[in-house]
Chain A
Amino acid sequence: MSTDDLIEAFRAQLRDDPDVASAVAAIRALLGFLKRDRGETIQGLRSSLLDAIETLSRVDSSVAVSSGGELFLRFISLTSLEYSDYSKCKEIMIERGEIFLRKVSLSRNKIAKLCHPFIRDGARILTHAYSRVVLRVLEAAVESKKRFSVYVTESQPDQAGQKMAKALRKLDIPVTVILDAAVGYIMEKVDLVLVGAEGVVESGGIINKIGTNQIAVCAKAQNKPFYVVAESFKFVRLFPLNQQDVPDKFKYKADTLKTSQNLTEEHPWIDYTSPSLITLLFTDLGVLTPSAVSDELIKLYL
């Protein structure tokens, strides 16, 4: 399967199902790549997969695609350890890959089920930018007959907050779009903050759309709970200690990385929120405190 076919398959996934997480689309594209791979050895498979993941991150440089790719690689390694015969191994991989994708498609519902009891009747929620998982959680809260109102930050530079507001209005939830700069002003009125995440790092912190860190700091200062909802395939093996430590390839879009002369003049798209500011993380593995995240990652990677 050539690189163009792979990129086309990835783009097709995103087009056909706008609700799918980019990591899942990446894993599906990689599974398709695996099915069509003609190699005869695990090493060959691994190196062609590494190239494929490199290609995909040149299309979409987000953390999610990177974590999805790394998870897939880990999946291959784990399976190849159990079966030494290559063709049998490949069969099992494909079978398990399908099962994994099926399970992962249920993860948003699991998260919604865990999270919506934390939204009290009459609550005022603050959220940031556009997150499909948060949307699902709020949908579940509406289904359980709770009344609440939502403040969404406008989230420049792409105004993702407007998209979120539109989707929430369709669910008949009272929404107010606020300026990113107005978070400190609105925080006293808010009961809880609920955000999604593009990536969850080893320390239990999150990588999310720029502006999330500010919101977390304000929430901490005013003692409001800060909840994060994220699926488990977003866990990445990064341990940033500050904003500088987040790799440049995640901070800027793929095109910017290719064409820009001086990255310091570009605006980053994401920031890092430290675990001390996060109250709880809702994942399909359960409700986790930030300290429990590293345990999950260790169980997988070591």
Chain B
Amino acid sequence: MPGAAERGAELREQMEAFVARLRGGGGRPRSEDTARHTLALLRKIIAHGHWGSAGELMELIRAEGRRMAAAQPSETTVGNMVRRVLKVIREEYGRLRGRSEESDQQESLHKLLTSGGLNEDFNTSYPTLKANVIEAINELLIELEGTTDNIAMQALEHIHSNEVIMTIGYSRTVEAFLKEAARKRKFQVIVAECAPFCQGHEMAVRLSKENIETTVMSDAAIFAVMSRVNKVIIGTKTILANGALIAVSGTHTLALAAKHHSTPLIVCAPMFKLSPQFPNEEDSFHKFVSPQEVLPFTEGEILAKINVHCPVFDYVPPELITLFISNIGGNAPSYIYRLMSELYHPDDYEL
């Protein structure tokens, strides 16, 4: 059928373009956009791909997911969305089989003792599976749209009048959070500029447009100013399975200073940033960019004698974090394992 072949070729092309864009790594894509693109691509694969049973579909998604995730390991939202889709497929399959949702999902001591030894083989084919899965993915997309608003809605509970809030760099989620609170409360914000890209400047400009009293300061002054700060509110790139963060470089310093002064550290991040990976020593989350920002190439003489690095991300351990505010509410870092078991299936942690 010419229609199918055409669609197949078009899908191929879109996949290649997406992978190339991920690998290129230029600019600073919004995590939400990456997540939306990934979901849209996966939906196309489900709609037009060649698969017969749920098992084959999962294999297909897994293979494509592995390719996309390998293109840019620090872009963890891609992998997260693939895992969400795999969980959706399992759930829909289970529902069609007539199983209740709770059983068979998680490994547990209970399951070890009571199972009859039959493993789900996902080989029966159901004609309505495709439609059900696509519908569930559409629901996921709708959920994605609303994440920033859901987080911002909780702002009034956490920010009170005449407080001094500190943040670092430019996070769109934190921007929405602070803007929502500013509608009803008067408070001050101190923004650490977050060298070498100095995105804190952009954040400060946007906040001051909303008539929030903003101060920009250098990263070196974080500790000095911390004694005056009531709360630290930051965004993050990824939340790891043990409750730790992979956030913009400079966040660990901020977190340590906050811990020292017993200032609460609040992380605003939507649930699609939660990744089931642990911070093992594979160091696959690191991303280094051109050291041009740190020491420009014009300083040729010095450059010949030294090594210059420009890492983009920082690791923040879970003990330094007080609260996670996500689109499903506020949670402590020690509760992350539970949220993870609701979003992903253990067999999918390793794509």
Contacts of B282 in A (CB 8 A): 117
Query: B65 at interface (Cβ–Cβ under 8 A)?
Result: no
Query: A119 at interface (Cβ–Cβ under 8 A)?
Result: yes
Q: Roughly how many angstroms separate A287 CA and B114 CA in the complex, as a whole number?
A: 22
Using A288-B337, A300-B108 as known contacts, say yes or no to A78 and B113 having CB atoms under 8 A apart.
yes
- Asked whether, in the complex, the Cβ of B334 is within 8 Å of the Cβ of A78, the reply is no
Q: Chain A residue with minimal CB distance to B118?
A: A99
* Choice from B108, B113, B281, B337 contacting A291 with Cβ under 8 Å: B337
A-B contact count (CB 8 A): 70
- Asked whether, in the complex, the Cβ of A280 is within 8 Å of the Cβ of B278, the reply is yes
Interface residues of A in 88-131 (CB under 8 A from B): 95-96, 99-100, 103-104, 117-120, 123
- Asked whether, in the complex, the Cβ of B108 is within 8 Å of the Cβ of A299, the reply is yes
Query: A285 at interface (Cβ–Cβ under 8 A)?
Result: yes
Contacts of A300 in B (CB 8 A): 108-110, 113
Contacts of B278 in A (CB 8 A): 118, 280, 287
- Asked whether, in the complex, the Cβ of A232 is within 8 Å of the Cβ of B109, the reply is yes
Most chain B CB within a 10 A radius of its CB, from A79, A291, A296: A291
- Asked whether, in the complex, the Cβ of A99 is within 8 Å of the Cβ of B116, the reply is yes
- Asked whether, in the complex, the Cβ of B110 is within 8 Å of the Cβ of A117, the reply is no
- Asked whether, in the complex, the Cβ of A118 is within 8 Å of the Cβ of B281, the reply is yes
**How far does the Cβ of A235 sit from chain B's closest Cβ, in whole Å?**
7
Query: B126 at interface (Cβ–Cβ under 8 A)?
Result: no
Query: A75 at interface (Cβ–Cβ under 8 A)?
Result: yes
Q: Chain B residue with minimal CB distance to A223?
A: B317
Query: B149 at interface (Cβ–Cβ under 8 A)?
Result: no
Contacts of A297 in B (CB 8 A): 109
- Asked whether, in the complex, the Cβ of B112 is within 8 Å of the Cβ of A100, the reply is yes
Contacts of B108 in A (CB 8 A): 285, 296, 299-300
Query: B117 at interface (Cβ–Cβ under 8 A)?
Result: yes
Query: B346 at interface (Cβ–Cβ under 8 A)?
Result: yes
Contacts of B242 in A (CB 8 A): 279-280, 289
Number of interface residues of A (CB under 8 A): 34
- Asked whether, in the complex, the Cβ of B280 is within 8 Å of the Cβ of A71, the reply is no
Interface residues of B in 108-143 (CB under 8 A from A): 108-110, 112-117
Q: Roughly how many angstroms separate A74 CA and B110 CA in the complex, as a whole number?
A: 9
Query: B210 at interface (Cβ–Cβ under 8 A)?
Result: no
Query: A286 at interface (Cβ–Cβ under 8 A)?
Result: yes
Contacts of A79 in B (CB 8 A): 114
- Asked whether, in the complex, the Cβ of B334 is within 8 Å of the Cβ of A289, the reply is yes
Query: B235 at interface (Cβ–Cβ under 8 A)?
Result: no
- Asked whether, in the complex, the Cβ of A117 is within 8 Å of the Cβ of B346, the reply is no
Q: Roughly how many angstroms separate A235 CA and B108 CA in the complex, as a whole number?
A: 12
Query: B107 at interface (Cβ–Cβ under 8 A)?
Result: yes
Query: B78 at interface (Cβ–Cβ under 8 A)?
Result: no
* Choice from A103, A117, A120, A123 contacting B112 with Cβ under 8 Å: A103
Contacts of B280 in A (CB 8 A): 117-118
Query: B200 at interface (Cβ–Cβ under 8 A)?
Result: no
**How far does the Cβ of B109 sit from chain A's closest Cβ, in whole Å?**
4
Q: Roughly how many angstroms separate A235 CA and B242 CA in the complex, as a whole number?
A: 20
Q: Roughly how many angstroms separate A117 CA and B336 CA in the complex, as a whole number?
A: 21
Contacts of A299 in B (CB 8 A): 108-110
Contacts of B346 in A (CB 8 A): 286
Q: Roughly how many angstroms separate A286 CA and B282 CA in the complex, as a whole number?
A: 18
Q: Chain B residue with minimal CB distance to A76?
A: B113
Query: B250 at interface (Cβ–Cβ under 8 A)?
Result: no
Q: Roughly how many angstroms separate A71 CA and B110 CA in the complex, as a whole number?
A: 10
Q: Roughly how many angstroms separate A181 CA and B173 CA in the complex, as a whole number?
A: 51
Q: Chain A residue with minimal CB distance to B335?
A: A291
- Asked whether, in the complex, the Cβ of B113 is within 8 Å of the Cβ of A71, the reply is yes
- Asked whether, in the complex, the Cβ of A286 is within 8 Å of the Cβ of B107, the reply is yes
Query: B79 at interface (Cβ–Cβ under 8 A)?
Result: no
Query: B338 at interface (Cβ–Cβ under 8 A)?
Result: yes
* Choice from B107, B113, B334 contacting A285 with Cβ under 8 Å: B107
Interface residues of A in 269-302 (CB under 8 A from B): 279-280, 284-289, 291-292, 295-297, 299-300
Q: Roughly how many angstroms separate A286 CA and B106 CA in the complex, as a whole number?
A: 10
- Asked whether, in the complex, the Cβ of A289 is within 8 Å of the Cβ of B109, the reply is no
**How far does the Cβ of A277 sit from chain B's closest Cβ, in whole Å?**
12
Contacts of B336 in A (CB 8 A): 289
Q: Roughly how many angstroms separate A99 CA and B116 CA in the complex, as a whole number?
A: 8
Q: Roughly how many angstroms separate A300 CA and B111 CA in the complex, as a whole number?
A: 8
**How far does the Cβ of B51 sit from chain A's closest Cβ, in whole Å?**
28
Shortest 4 CB-CB distances between A and B: which pairs? A120-B281, A300-B109, A291-B334, A292-B337
User: Which A residues fall within an 8 A CB radius of B?
Assistant: 71, 74-75, 78-79, 95-96, 99-100, 103-104, 117-120, 123, 232-233, 235, 279-280, 284-289, 291-292, 295-297, 299-300
